[in-house]
């Protein structure tokens, strides 16, 4: 149990704290820090300071903050930090559709774009069992583009609740991203908001909402992985938002 969880359980409230760094990023930070030491040793001070900045950026990029996940059987939480850049009605990916997968019919797809400044740990939108994980090699187009869903390197997840309701979501690599790292495997039982993977460095996650479920977010809205509610399963009323 983390200090955050202990404080909540004890009814003490919580305080801001530096987020931990995911182990996936520590090796990069160590390499960068070693370069800092080497450059400083040979007297290349200017370059050493540049690598100090790079080391700090790496630690920030791989930060893994604690999230307070809203509880509710029908809630679909955002799997990613970032901005909602697309909300479209599309056919689901063939890799996770059809027999045993998502229905082969148009579904609402909510796309959350992660910049290089966002947290890149991705989380499960619902609680359930991981039924499919399909990795597809591809291009590295701008993840903001609609065609990135079909052309870019990506990884599809299918999670099934105990009552048979399924949610599909896709990690999509972008211009800078060069690796999708899964934490979960087929057969794993995950909770809503549980960490399931990350994408290095700047990317997007698509979520396919079940039939009859409207998005509770709007274009341009900022999402927090594991906390922002993207939809309520079976609720067809869409969110209304005003940019200001």
Per residue in 93-140, pLDDT (tens digit) is 999 998 889 999 999 999 999 988 898 899 999 999 999 999 888 655
Active site residues: 203
Q: Which of 112, 60, 130 is nearest to 228 (CA)?
A: 112
Residue 138 main-chain phi, psi, to 5 deg = -170, -160
pLDDT of amino acid 12: 67
Side-chain half-sphere CA neighbours of 219 within 13 A: 5
In whole angstroms, give the CA distance from residue 183 to residue 191: 13
pLDDT of amino acid 144: 52
Dihedral of CA 85/229/209/130: which sign? positive
pTM of the complete model: 0.83
DSSP β-bridge partners for residue 64 = 20
Side-chain half-sphere CA neighbours of 233 within 13 A: 19
pLDDT of amino acid 165: 93
Counting every residue written for the chain, the total comes to: 244
In whole angstroms, give the CA distance from residue 241 to residue 17: 31
Dihedral of CA 170/239/90/102: which sign? positive
In whole angstroms, give the CA distance from residue 87 to residue 98: 22
Side-chain half-sphere CA neighbours of 138 within 13 A: 23
pLDDT of amino acid 143: 47
DSSP 83: E
Residue 42 main-chain phi, psi, to 5 deg = -90, 0
Tell me which residues of the chain have a pLDDT lower than 50. 143, 177
């Amino acid at each position: 149990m983390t200090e955050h969880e202990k404080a909540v359980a004890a009814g003490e409230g919580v305080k801001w704290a530096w987020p931990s760094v995911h182990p996936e990023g520590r090796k990069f930070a160590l390499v960068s820090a070693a370069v800092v030491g080497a450059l400083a040793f040979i007297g290349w001070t200017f370059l050493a300071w540049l690598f100090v900045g790079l080391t700090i950026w790496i630690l920030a990029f791989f930060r893994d903050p604690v999230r307070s996940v809203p509880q509710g059987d029908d809630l679909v939480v955002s799997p990613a930090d970032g901005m909602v850049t697309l909300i479209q009605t599309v056919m689901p990916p063939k890799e996770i559709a059809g027999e045993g997968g998502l229905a082969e019919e148009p579904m609402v797809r909510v796309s959350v774009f992660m910049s290089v400044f966002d947290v890149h740990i991705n989380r499960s939108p619902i609680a359930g069992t991981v039924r499919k994980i399909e990795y597809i090699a591809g291009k590295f187009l701008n993840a903001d583009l609609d065609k990135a869903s079909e052309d870019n390197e990506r990884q599809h997840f299918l999670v099934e609740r105990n009552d048979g309701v399924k949610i599909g979501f896709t990690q999509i690599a972008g211009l800078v991203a060069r690796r999708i790292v899964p934490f979960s495997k087929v057969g794993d039982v995950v909770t809503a908001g549980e960490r399931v993977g990350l994408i290095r460095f700047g990317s997007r996650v698509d979520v396919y909402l079940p039939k009859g479920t409207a998005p509770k977010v709007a274009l341009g809205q900022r999402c927090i992985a594991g906390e922002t509610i993207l939809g309520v399963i079976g609720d067809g009323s869409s969110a209304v938002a005003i940019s200001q």
